[in-house]
């Protein structure tokens, strides 16, 4: 019996038990509220809270009672722990809605965006799609791809900040997505490694002390590495944090019209990057890049030979699943000596419904259930970081389901938030230029000064092309 079937049977058993128990009232929809209309008629009367619950039940019943078979495709990325939680949530929903089948399409992050854009070009994208908001500029050029969620009667927006939805979930004023979580940023550390090398995990590294500590680690055990970063993460995990802490702004102007950094600033940045990736005690980039978007599968992580990587809080689950929750600690990203502590924050990911879906009512009902229903929230936990929906977050906090590392990582980003990056910084063509050049820098295939000149010329040229 495969893992999916085992999960499905277990969840179905829990569901049957839940149907026989009393339902909860108030707050976001509970499992009993979702399923009750399909089992028996609702009781009239009672408080306004009960009336609201009844309205919700009737709305949900329209989908649950529909005998017409519906098949939806749901596409997402993540690690194994996120996959298992999401599959469990799907099984719970489809058990309550037996006419609905949801086909899961999941993978690691690496290659996901390319696959999605290929599907969109062919007009065969999934009905329900997990997205990164930074892809919106590219997606906007493809036309109206997603439903306007404000126009959907079964979407409850009461648990979201209007400004957050406008800043991170909309294209040209249209709400095309909902945030699945809020991401904090920083170091994800192996506690046993830090104890072995007598290092304090609560310290905040400077960029210079990072190199000094890596050399110390290497001198103590040449098989250990203080840090590992793979090549596709160079922009977001090293280059941009270094720029932010040194200069207090991004490398692109706020209006995305040109490269903001001078040639001298870029040369200094690239010189540091070459020094960093030449340091004993920093895992060679070629070795680290074998685990693109899957750093938790790097053997040195599992064997307590890696001190930390830099990543988002939404990924904590996959790292702790390998080394254990008690062995995982988090911290702030490196800063420049005397520089600014600006820590990025963003939606961990957003979820959208394709305009091409044949069952928009069911698709939107599912995503609303997934983000607001108490049982769904419990199943998914913090696999996509802490929920952005305030009701969902409050429920997880009430039952003690938000870990200390997760809370710490999100809170440190909210306490010292970096400004939102300029829109074109996430454009795929611009990103490819930057990523390829940073990789050449890290491998010393180009000098820092030549790279700085190429960076300014290539990026500015591409920006002019895109804006013409």
Please count the residues of the chain. 468
In DSSP terms, which residues pair with 328 in a beta bridge?
190
Reference 157, options 146, 144, 170; nearest CA is 170
Give the C-alpha separation, 223 to 5, whole Å. Answer: 41
Q: What are residue 357's DSSP bridge partners?
A: none
How many angstroms separate the Cα of 197 from the Cα of each of 18, 19, 215, 219, 320? 49, 53, 12, 10, 20
**Bridge partners for 313 per DSSP:** none
Parse the chain into domains and list their residue ranges.
3-183+347-412, 185-344+427-467
CA–CA dist 174, 169 (Å, integer)? 8
Asked if domains 3-183+347-412 and 185-344+427-467 share a fold, the reply is yes
Instruction: List, for residues 165-178, the tens digit of each pLDDT value.
Output: 988 899 989 999 99
Three-class SS state of 186: strand
Nearest one of 210, 241, 240, 413 to 330, comparing CA atoms: 413
Q: Whole-angstrom Cα distance, residue 392 to residue 394? A: 5
The full 3-state SS of 269-318, as one line of letters, equals HHHHHHHHCCCCCECCHHHHHHHCCCHHHCHHHHCCCEEEEEEEHHHHHH
**Whose structure tokens read 């990736």?**
277
| CA separation for the pair 364, 74 (Å, rounded) | 12
pLDDT at 135: 93
Structure confidence at residue 20 (pLDDT):
35
Q: What is the pLDDT of residue 11?
A: 37
pLDDT of residue 161: 87
User: Which pLDDT belongs to residue 421?
Assistant: 85
Alpha-carbon gap, residue 388 to 183, rounded angstroms: 9
The answer to whether 146 touches 352, Cβ cutoff 8 Å, is yes
Contact in structure between 350 and 168 (CB atoms under 8 Å): yes
pTM of the model: 0.72
In this prediction, the residues of the chain whose per-residue pLDDT falls under 50 are 1-62, 64
CB 409 within 8 A of CB 415: no
Nearest to 306 by CA among 286, 333, 284, 321: 284
> What span, in angstroms and rounded, lies between the C-alpha atoms of 53 and 131?
31
Residue 415 confidence (pLDDT): 87
- For the record, the structure tokens of 362 come out as 């069911």
Q: Which tokens is 383 given?
A: 């696999």
Q: Which CATH architecture has domain 185-344+427-467?
A: 3-Layer(aba) Sandwich (3.40)
**In 119-158, at which residue ranges do the beta strands (DSSP E only) sit?**
128-131
Whole-number Cα distances in Å, 1 to 15, 16, 81, 200: 20, 21, 19, 45
Separation of CA 256 from chain center: 24
3-state secondary structure labels for all residues of 340-361:
CCCECCEEEEEEEEECCCCCHH
Environment class of 151 (CB within 10 Å of its CB; exposed 0-12, middle 13-18, buried 19+): exposed
Instruction: Give the pLDDT score at 420.
Output: 80
Q: Which CATH number fits domain 3-183+347-412: 2.30.40.10, 2.60.40.420, 2.60.120.330, 3.40.190.10?
A: 3.40.190.10
DSSP state of 105: E
Task: Give me the pLDDT at residue 10, please.
Answer: 38
């Amino acid at each position: 019996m495969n893992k999916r079937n085992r999960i499905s049977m277990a969840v179905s058993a829990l569901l049957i038990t839940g149907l026989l128990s009393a339902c909860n009232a108030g707050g976001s929809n509970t499992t009993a509220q979702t399923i009750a209309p399909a089992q028996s008629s609702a009781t009239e009367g009672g408080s306004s809270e009960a009336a609201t619950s009844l309205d919700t039940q009737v709305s949900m019943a329209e989908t649950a009672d529909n005998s017409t078979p519906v098949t939806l495709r749901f596409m997402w990325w993540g690690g194994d722990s996120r996959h298992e939680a999401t599959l469990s949530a799907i099984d719970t929903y489809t058990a309550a809605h037996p006419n609905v089948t949801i086909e899961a399409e999941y993978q690691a992050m690496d290659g996901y965006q390319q696959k999605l854009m290929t599907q969109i070009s062919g007009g065969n994208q999934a009905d329900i799609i997990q997205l990164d908001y930074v892809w919106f500029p590219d997606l906007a050029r493809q036309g109206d791809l997603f439903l306007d969620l404000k126009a959907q009667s079964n979407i409850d927006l009461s648990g979201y900040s209007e400004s957050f939805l406008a800043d991170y979930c909309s294209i040209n004023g249209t709400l095309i997505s909902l945030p699945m979580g809020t991401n904090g940023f920083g170091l994800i550390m192996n506690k046993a490694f830090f104890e072995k090398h007598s290092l304090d995990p609560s310290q905040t590294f400077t960029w210079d002390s990072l190199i000094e500590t890596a050399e110390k680690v290497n001198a103590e055990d040449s098989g250990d590495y203080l840090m590992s970063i793979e090549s596709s993460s160079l922009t977001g995990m090293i280059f941009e944090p270094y720029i932010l802490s040194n200069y207090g702004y991004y490398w692109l102007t706020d209006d995305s019209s040109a490269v903001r950094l001078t040639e001298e600033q870029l040369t200094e940045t690239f010189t540091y990057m070459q020094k960093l990736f030449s340091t004993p005690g920093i895992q060679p980039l070629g070795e680290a890049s074998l685990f693109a978007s899957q750093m938790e599968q790097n053997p040195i992580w599992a064997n307590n030979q890696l001190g930390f990587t830099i990543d988002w809080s939404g990924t904590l689950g996959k790292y702790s699943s390998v080394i254990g929750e008690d062995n995982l600690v988090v911290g702030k990203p490196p800063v420049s000596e005397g520089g600014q502590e600006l820590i990025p924050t963003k939606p961990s990911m957003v979820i959208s419904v394709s305009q091409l879906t044949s069952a928009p009512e069911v698709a939107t009902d599912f995503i609303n259930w997934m983000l607001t229903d108490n049982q769904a929230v419990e199943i998914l936990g913090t696999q996509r970081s802490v929920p952005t929906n305030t009701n969902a977050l409050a429920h997880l906090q009430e039952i003690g389901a938000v870990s200390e590392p997760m809370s710490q990582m999100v809170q440190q980003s909210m306490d010292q938030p970096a400004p939102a990056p300029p829109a074109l910084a996430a454009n795929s063509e611009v990103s490819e230029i930057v990523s390829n050049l940073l990789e050449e820098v890290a491998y010393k295939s180009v000098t820092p000064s030549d790279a700085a000149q190429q960076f300014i010329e290539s990026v500015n040229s591409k920006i002019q092309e895109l804006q013409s």
